[in-house]
Structure 1
Amino acid sequence: MFRRTFWFTAGAAAGVWATTKVNRKLKQLTPESLAAQAANKAIETGHRLKDFALDIRDGMVEREAELGEALGLRNDPDAELAPPRRFAVIESHSSYKNDMKTQYNRNEDH
């Protein structure tokens, strides 16, 4: 008698447990639940991307400071800037234009 009661109770408990599991899984698979899960994943992904972008920005600032230190650049905003350089290419460009006017343009024939 005790043996039958034990197995009946064990079977009933297993049935309740299985029914509960199946009902939970069915609730997770409803369209509303799937939409909520997708929204939560999208928000989580957005936070991860934001954290990644902030890490990248911090790394860029750190690297810029390292390069500035290595190159001997100052971060003083009140420091006077050096005058802009003039390159020889700019000065000789006008003579190049004058030479081009006198040359033959082979596209004029057509």
Structure 2
Amino acid sequence: MFRRTFWFTAGAAAGVWATTKVNRKLKQLTPESLAAQAANKAVEAGHKLKDFALDVRDNMAEREAQLGDALGLNDPVDRELPAQRGFAVIENTFSTHTKQPKYLENTRYSINNRNEDH
């Protein structure tokens, strides 16, 4: 008699447990529950993306400061202008107002040659 009572009680407990488990799973699979789960996942993903963007911005600013220090861009600016550079003057040796250069004298490639032999 005790065996029958034990197995009847064990079966009833397993049935209640299985029914409860199935009902919970069915509630999780309703359209409203699925929509709420999707919304929660989207909000979590948005928070993670925002945190990532903030980390990138902070690291970018830190690296920019490091590069500015390395390149000397963060040094104080001198208000004094640099001295004006002098310009080299190159003499125009082929000007029509000057004498023909020595290496072109007595050749047909002179500056005064206007192809008059044609």
TM-score by length of 2: 0.62
Higher helix share: 1
Question: Higher relative CO (CA 8 A, sep ≥ 6), structure 1 or 2?
Answer: 2
Matched, 1:3 2:6: no
Matched, 1:55 2:55: yes
Match of 1:87 in 2: none
Match of 1:92 in 2: none
Matched, 1:69 2:69: yes
The change in CA–CA distance for 1:14 and 1:74 in structure 2 (over 3 A counts) is: same
Please give the root-mean-square deviation of Cα atoms over the aligned residues, in Å: 2.0
Q: Which stretches of structure 1, 4 residues or more, deviate above 6 A after TM superposition?
A: none
TM-score by length of 1: 0.67
Q: What residue ranges of structure 2 are gaps of 5+ in the alignment? A: 82-118
| Identity among equivalent pairs (%) | 80
SS in 2 for 1:44: helix
Q: What residue ranges of structure 1 are gaps of 5+ in the alignment? A: 84-110
